[in-house]
Amino acid sequence: MGDYVSIERFSGILAPVVTPFKDDLSPDIGRFLNHCRWVKSQNANLAIFGTNSEANSLSVKEKIDLLETLISSGISGDALMPGTGCCSLSETVELTNT
């Protein structure tokens, strides 16, 4: 996923995105993707896994899966500002380098 990172200055509206969960407490990828598409349709960029996105409730693997879902669905990496801070330094580095 590192190929999608832009080094240009980020601009525009950055909307915090809520991460929906299923009854089994796993991320609801379909609802997440639909919500992110709607936010993008409103001309906003996506702030995912931040203070509004239940970041501490997600594993690094779940975050990576959600990021890959957004990219593979056609949402540009330039439109994303993912929160990569974790309690574990090694997980923060892993997620930041993804």
pLDDT by residue (tens digit) across 59-94?
A: 999 999 999 999 999 999 889 999 888 888 998 888
In single-letter form, the type of residue at position 13 comes to: I
pLDDT by residue (tens digit) across 27-59?
A: 999 999 999 999 999 999 999 998 776 788 899
Query: Taking a C-beta distance cutoff of 8 angstroms, is the pair 98, 64 a contact?
Result: yes
Q: Phi first, then psi: what are they for 3, rounded to 5°?
A: -70, -15
Question: Which residues on neighbouring strands pair with residue 27, listed in sequence order?
Answer: 21
Query: Taking a C-beta distance cutoff of 8 angstroms, is the pair 49, 19 a contact?
Result: yes
In single-letter form, the type of residue at position 85 comes to: G
At residue 1, the pLDDT reads 47
Helices (runs of H) and strands (runs of E) counted in the chain: 3, 2
Calculate mean pLDDT across residues 8-27: 89
With a cut of 70, say whether residue 6 has pLDDT above it: no
